[in-house]
A and B are shown apart, each in its own frame.
Chain A
Amino acid sequence: MESKSKSNWIKNVLKPTIKRRLERKSNFDNHSGIKIDTVYDHDDSNSSTLGYPGEYPYTRGLQPNMYRGKVWTMRQYAGFASAEESNARYKFLLDSGQSGLSVAFDLPTQTGYDSDHPLAIGEVGRAGVPISSLVDMEILFKEIPLNKVTTSMTINSTASVLLAMYIALAKKQNIPLNQIGGTVQNDILKEYIARGTYIFPPIPSMRLVTDLFQYCAENIPKWNTISISGYHMREAGATAVQELAFTFSNAIEYVHAAINSGLDVDSFAPRLSFFFVAQSDLFEEISKFRAARRMWANIMRNQFGAKDPRSWMCRFHTQTAGVTLTAQQPDNNIIRSAFQGLSAVLGGTQSLHVNSRDEALSLPTPESAELSLRTQQILSHETGITDTVDPLGGSFYIENLTDQIESKANDYIDQIQNMGGALGALQQGFQIKEIHDSAYKIQQDIESNERIVVGVNAFQTKDQTVIPIQRIDPNQTRIQLERLRKVKSERNSGEVTRCLENLSVAASNTENIMPIMIKAVENYATVGEISDTLRRVFGEQKEFSPF
């Protein structure tokens, strides 16, 4: 006789079976500490309240027809060596069918130092493209009309400077500002927590963030003013639940700051965007993306009273997980990244970057970057997963996991709110410690072989595959330094000084800093000079809660 209910089935069928067919492990908890059951059925999920795609609470997707209308934007993060070499890589990627640009800046640019600063030694052009002045930016986008692409820029403490340069460049290309689209990451809170490229203390940093919100709302309506990022916190060790909880706690902090600066919630909230990782646990990740949309819709509609449905939409970019890439057997990374990309698409992402096989060793070569783009194109054109919306919706397991991730992340958010919000918790080192503890546990699990990493702690091979890697040509650094020297000697230095003085005054009072920033970069004031001016007014932030 077949079982009539799950409890009967467990008692009469499953338990006797387990006695002779032992389970592989005693504990099937996932990495967020959620207990994974043998099987799920109707009673384990509330899928009857799911709703439909394109409607509140958007669990199933932001657009009613999702990828049937338009597939996600294929946006491979790139930048290295110099503006010239990066421009060539962008053109190569666009020619290969990429649909949007994503700029990686080097660390001096990200931390507000020109390429000729002593702290920039060894770092120029290594982790991204060096941009010191508008001249570099002009070369970076040479022959790329800014109304034909959208551009995402991974830039935070110097986001307003780089956005000012992009605006100045659009003006030079005679493109109306309402035609340019893209994103600045502009998410300073996660820099303090995990990524490390902060310059100023939190209060003036939050003011730069909200100045940018306001300027864009009034002048470049298609610009995503922030990409509130769980990615880096997860990469630093957070679990999926922590990723959502810390990201939305930060998001709540930004919304409060913007409202406190006098902005109406629906004037800026539609341009807030998000950035998550696609890690290796396929179903947990798909559920996480679905939970993220539902959580944000509830936060914005119920907590902040946003009226515009666009304010409720959690639009996000996804990148596969750099931390899962292995230096051992690097071709395995192609497989890992493909599965991770699959979870992002099944989770309904708006744009995607798939990591390359060689990134545990160096920046990607053109060949491996192309392979990542091909992975996306195969997902899009060959797998059929784009033909229906939220294909896993209604899966007992997926719905149960979505509910559990949402509920656990909400508990964490409450805990953070009780500590005074994201900033209050940060002052106590809370998120940093939680992330480190998770990271340490993962490392211990790998070393005890509780967690298998193929090619690293199991299935090792003796032969070490050697693959070609991307080298940075030192001549490119010399070209960059020479160009910077030339810019500084040829520009109108009196005008630069005046611009920087105006900037200093604006920073000291409450006027919006963006128009002055644009004027300064148009006169070829550099990233370093602008940052130094702000350092003198705002001060510099030390690391929160050193270990």
Chain B
Amino acid sequence: MTDRIIRVLVAKPGLDGHDRGAKIVARSLRDAGMEVIYTGIRQTPEMIISTAIDEDVDVIGLSILSGAHLELFTQIIDGLSRHNRDDILIVAGGIIPEEDRLQLKEMGVSNVFGPGTSTQEIALFIKQAFNDQL
């Protein structure tokens, strides 16, 4: 166990403007005691990678509803890997079909939270994953 505050980047990759979920998750993780940076919409993979590294986050939460998740997440995960930042926990949410979820998990996304997930469940998952890592 640790008292260090978990730092989370909530990011909206791609051209998708649906930010209701991302903002709610960002606020709820903040309420759950984490330090949260929200990127705003229309972020390129490069922007997300550089913000994550500059802000030294522990977790990246990617939210996307446009259907571009496979392509964009691949770029983000590869980019983090190139910067030797595979240690950052990646979670995702949005409109993501079941079969894509399995593929995303194989790529290194720790969890995909679909529609209807409670914010408490997301906070709990992150806290547990973070404690397990230590």
A360 at the interface (CB under 8 A from B): yes
Whether the pair A362, B97 counts as a contact (CB closer than 8 A) is yes
> Is the CB–CB distance between B28 and A326 below 8 Å?
no
Cβ-defined contact, A119 with B17, below 8 A: no
A107 to B14, CA, bound (A): 9
Measured in the bound complex, the distance between the Cα atoms of B14 and A235 in whole Å is 20
Interface residues of B in 99-127 (CB under 8 A from A): 114-116, 118-120
Set of chain A residues within 8 Å of B39, measured between Cβ atoms: 546
Q: Which of B38, B72, B97 has the most CB of A within 10 A?
A: B97
Q: Is the CB of A123 within 8 A of B42?
A: no
- Closest B residue to A542 using CB positions: B40
Known A362-B67, A466-B98; judge A108-B23 contact (CB<8 A): no
Interchain CA distance A360-B41 in the complex, whole Å: 20
Chain B residue numbers with a CB within 8 Å of A543 are 40-42
* In the assembled complex, A443 has its CB within 8 A of some CB on chain B: yes
Distance of B101 from chain A, by nearest CB (Å): 11
Chain A contacts for B26, CB-based, 8 A: 547
- A15: Cβ under 8 A from any B Cβ: no
A236 to B15, CA, bound (A): 17
> Which of chain B's residues has its CB closest to A111's CB?
B15
Contact of B77 with A by CB under 8 A: no
Q: Are B95 and A196 in contact (CB under 8 A)?
A: no
Q: What's the minimum C-beta distance from B85 to chain A, rounded to whole angstroms?
A: 22
Given the contacts A121-B71, A362-B67, A472-B67, A127 and B16 also touching, CB distance less than 8 Å: yes
Q: How far is the CA of A85 from the CA of B116 in the complex (A)?
A: 31
Q: List the A residue with the shortest CB-CB distance to B70.
A: A122
Q: Is the CB of B120 within 8 A of A447?
A: yes
Does A301 reach chain B (CB closer than 8 Å)? no
Q: Are A360 and B16 in contact (CB under 8 A)?
A: no
Interface of B is mostly: loop
* Total CB contacts across the A-B interface at under 8 A: 104
Q: Report yes or no: A196 in contact with B17, Cβ–Cβ below 8 A.
A: yes
The reply to whether A456 and B116 form a contact with Cβ atoms under 8 Å apart is: yes
Interface size (A, Cβ < 8 Å)? Answer: 44
- Does the CB pair A440–B41 fall under 8 Å? no
With an 8 A cutoff between CB atoms, is A197 at the interface?
Answer: yes
Give A413 Cβ to nearest chain B Cβ, in Å.
Answer: 23
B contact residues, range = 35 or more
Is B23 a contact partner of A127 (Cβ separation < 8 A)? Answer: no
Q: How far is the CA of A327 from the CA of B97 in the complex (A)?
A: 10
Q: Which residues in chain B, 45-78, are within 8 Å of chain A measured between CB atoms? A: 66-72, 75
Query: What are the residues of chain B within 8 A of A457 when measuring CB–CB?
Result: 118
On chain B, the residues within 8 Å of A472 by CB distance are 67
Q: Which of A441-455 contact B (CB under 8 A)?
A: 443, 446-447, 453
Chain B stretch 7-32: residues in CB contact (< 8 A) with chain A: 14-20, 23-24, 26-28
Quick check: B14 and A122 within 8 Å, CB to CB?
yes
Q: Are A447 and B116 in contact (CB under 8 A)?
A: no
Q: Indicate if A126 sits at the interface (CB-CB under 8 A).
A: yes
Instruction: State in angstroms the CA–CA spacing of A469 and B114 once bound together.
Output: 15
Contact present for A123 and B68 (CB under 8 Å)? yes
CB of B23 within 8 A of CB of A439, answer yes
Q: Which residues of A contact B16 (CB under 8 A)?
A: 107, 127, 196
Q: Which residues of B contact A122 (CB under 8 A)?
A: 14, 67-72
For the complex, what is the distance from the CA of A236 to the CA of B18, rounded to whole Å? 8
Cα of A118 to Cα of B67 in the assembled complex, Å:
16
> Which chain A residues in 32-83 approach chain B with CB under 8 Å?
none
Assess the B116–A453 pair: CB atoms within 8 A: yes
Given A119-B44, A122-B72, A196-B41: A547 and B115 within 8 A (CB)?
no
Closest chain B residue, CB of each to CB of A109? B15
A135: CB under 8 A from chain B?
A: no
Task: Evaluate contact between B66 and A236: CB separation under 8 angstroms.
Answer: no
Q: Which residues of B contact A363 (CB under 8 A)?
A: 67
B24 & A440 in contact (Cβ 8 Å cutoff): yes
- Interface residue A410 (Cβ < 8 Å from any Cβ of B): no
With a cutoff of 8 Å between Cβ atoms, the chain B residues found around residue A326 in the complex are 115-116
A291-309 interface code vs B (CB 8 A; 1 in, 0 out): 0000000000000000000
Which chain B residues border A91 with CB–CB below 8 Å?
none
Is A148 interfacial (CB-CB < 8 Å)? no
Q: How many angstroms from the CA of A434 to the CA of B38 in the assembled complex? A: 18
- Enumerate 10 A-B pairs (CB-CB under 8 Å) in ascending A order: A110-B15, A127-B16, A196-B16, A196-B18, A327-B115, A360-B114, A440-B27, A443-B24, A547-B19, A547-B23
In the A-B complex, list the 6 residue pairs whose CB atoms are closest, starting with the nearest.
Answer: A196-B17, A122-B71, A122-B68, A126-B67, A107-B15, A546-B40
Interface set of A (CB-CB < 8 Å, partner B): 107-108, 110-111, 113, 119-123, 126-127, 191, 194-197, 235-237, 323, 325-328, 360-363, 436, 439-440, 443, 446-447, 453, 456-457, 466, 469, 472, 543, 546-547
Beyond the given pairs A196-B19, A360-B114, A447-B120, 13 more chain A to chain B contacts, judged by CB atoms under 8 angstroms and listed by A's residue number, are: A120-B15, A123-B15, A126-B66, A127-B66, A237-B20, A326-B115, A443-B24, A443-B28, A446-B118, A447-B118, A466-B98, A546-B38, A547-B23
